[in-house]
C-alpha cells in the first residue's frame, strides 16, 4: 500500500489569467506545508471533461508512486454531484464524479470513496470547490488523514463514453482526442491496431489516405501529412513544422473512422 508521497499534480480548466490556481495552491500549502505541487495543465477548455480525462489518463503514470492527482474540471460545482477519492495500486486521485476519472477506474483495480464535505473549509462557497473542498481534502490526505477517513466507501461512478475506440468488423470508430500546441492530431486509436498503410481515415468531412507512417516529424519533411506513433502509443497525424489542426480547421472531439480492408480482417 503506497502512502501519499507529498507530490500532487493539479489539472484544471481555471486558466492562468485569474488567481484561482494560485489560491488553490495557497490552501494546499496551508494544509500541507511540505507539499510539492506540479501543474499538469490549467488550460483545459472550460467544462471539457473528456479533454481533462485524456490529459490525466496519459500523464499520471509518469509521476512518482504515491503522487496525489487532483483534477478539477467541475461544471457541476455547487450541485449535489459527489467528489471522488480513489486509490489505485500506485496513485491517489481526487476529482468530481463526472467521468474525468472513469477511464482510469475502468481499467485499474481501485478503492473508491465519496468525500465528506465536512473536511472542507469552514465557509464553503457554491462556486469554487477547488479552493473550499478539493484543496482541503488533498491537503489532509497528504498529511494527517487516511483516504478511508475522508469519505464513505463507494462503488459506482459516472462513466465517460467514447474514451476508448470501438473495433467493429469492418472499421475502427475512434475520436480525434486531442489537438496539441503544435497542431498535431492525436487520436485515441492504438497504433498497433492500425491496418498497414495505405489506409483511409475519415475525420469530420475529410476522407484521407494515410500513405506514410514515419518514425519522426523530420522524416515527413516535404509530405503534406503523415501518420506516426504518438508519444502515448496512439495514432497521430502530423505535418513537419506545420500546424495541421489550423490548416484543416480541426478541433478535438471529432469522430474518426478507419475502414478495415478485407485482407486486414482476415489476418
Question: Does 194 participate in binding a second copy (rule CB under 8 A)?
Answer: no
Q: With contacts defined by CB under 8 A, how many residues of the chain interact with a second copy?
A: 65
Residues 227-266 touching a second copy, rule: CB under 8 A, are: 228-231, 236, 241, 243
Alpha helices in the chain (DSSP H): 20-31, 49-57, 102-107, 129, 135-142, 147-150, 244-248, 262-265
C-beta closer to a second copy: residue 77 or 112: 77
Least CB distance from residue 134 to a second copy, whole Å? 13
Least CB distance from residue 97 to a second copy, whole Å? 14
Rg, the chain, Cα only = 20
Listed ranges 19-27, 145-153, 167-175, 201-209: which one lies at the site for a second copy (CB under 8 A): 19-27
Calpha distance 117→129 (Å, rounded)? 10
Q: Indicate the burial class of 161 (C-beta count within 10 angstroms; 0-12, 13-18, 19 or more).
A: exposed
Q: Which of 4, 50, 53, 67 binds a second copy (CB under 8 A)?
A: 67
Q: Indicate the burial class of 81 (C-beta count within 10 angstroms; 0-12, 13-18, 19 or more).
A: middle
Question: Does 197 participate in binding a second copy (rule CB under 8 A)?
Answer: no
Nearest partner of 8 among 101, 103, 94, judged by Cα? 94
Where does residue 81 fall: left (phi above 0), alpha (psi -120 to 50 degrees), or beta otherwise?
beta
Alpha-carbon distance values, 86 to 35, 97, 253 (Å): 19, 11, 27
Residues 123-142 touching a second copy, rule: CB under 8 A, are: 125-128, 131-132
Question: Does 38 participate in binding a second copy (rule CB under 8 A)?
Answer: yes
Q: Which of 1, 155, 156, 215 binds a second copy (CB under 8 A)?
A: 215
Least CB distance from residue 199 to a second copy, whole Å? 20
Say which DSSP state 236 is in.
E
Residue 179, beta-bridge partner list: 185
Least CB distance from residue 110 to a second copy, whole Å? 20
Compose the 86-115 pattern: x for residues touching a second copy by CB under 8 A, - for all others: ------------------------------
Question: Does 187 participate in binding a second copy (rule CB under 8 A)?
Answer: no
Question: Does 170 participate in binding a second copy (rule CB under 8 A)?
Answer: no
Least CB distance from residue 77 to a second copy, whole Å? 6
Calpha distance 179→102 (Å, rounded)? 21
Say which DSSP state 218 is in.
G
Calpha distance 207→200 (Å, rounded)? 7
- Contacts to a second copy by CB under 8 A: 5, 7, 9, 11, 13-23, 25-27, 29-30, 33, 36, 38-43, 46-47, 55-56, 58-59, 62-64, 67, 75-79, 125-128, 131-132, 178, 180-182, 215-219, 228-231, 236, 241, 243
Amino acid at each position: 500500500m503506497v502512502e501519499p508521497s507529498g507530490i500532487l499534480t493539479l489539472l484544471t480548466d481555471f486558466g492562468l489569467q485569474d488567481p484561482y490556481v494560485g489560491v488553490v495552491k495557497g490552501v494546499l500549502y496551508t494544509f500541507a506545508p511540505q507539499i510539492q505541487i506540479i501543474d499538469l495543465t490549467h488550460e483545459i477548455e472550460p467544462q471539457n471533461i473528456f479533454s481533462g480525462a485524456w490529459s490525466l489518463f496519459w500523464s499520471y503514470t509518469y509521476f512518482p508512486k504515491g503522487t496525489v492527482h487532483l483534477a478539477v474540471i467541475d461544471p457541476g460545482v455547487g450541485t449535489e454531484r459527489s467528489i471522488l477519492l480513489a486509490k489505485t495500486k500506485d496513485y491517489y486521485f481526487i476529482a468530481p464524479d463526472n467521468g474525468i476519472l472513469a477511464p482510469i477506474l475502468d481499467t485499474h483495480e481501485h478503492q473508491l470513496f465519496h468525500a465528506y464535505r465536512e473536511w472542507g473549509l469552514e465557509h464553503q462557497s457554491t462556486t469554487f470547490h477547488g479552493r473550499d473542498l478539493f484543496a482541503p481534502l488533498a491537503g489532509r490526505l497528504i498529511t494527517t488523514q487516511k483516504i478511508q477517513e475522508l469519505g464513505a466507501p463507494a462503488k459506482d461512478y459516472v462513466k465517460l463514453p467514447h474514451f476508448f475506440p470501438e473495433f467493429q468488423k469492418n472499421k475502427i470508430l475512434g475520436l480525434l482526442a486531442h489537438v496539441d500546441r503544435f497542431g498535431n492530431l492525436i487520436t485515441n486509436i492504438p497504433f498497433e491496431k492500425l491496418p498497414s498503410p495505405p489506409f483511409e481515415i475519415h475525420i469530420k468531412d475529410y476522407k484521407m489516405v494515410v500513405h506514410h507512417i514515419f518514425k519522426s516529424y523530420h522524416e515527413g519533411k516535404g509530405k503534406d501529412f503523415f501518420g506516426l506513433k504518438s508519444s502515448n502509443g496512439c495514432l497521430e497525424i502530423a505535418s513537419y513544422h506545420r500546424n495541421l489542426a489550423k490548416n484543416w480547421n480541426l478541433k478535438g472531439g471529432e469522430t474518426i473512422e478507419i475502414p478495415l480492408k478485407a485482407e486486414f480482417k482476415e489476418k
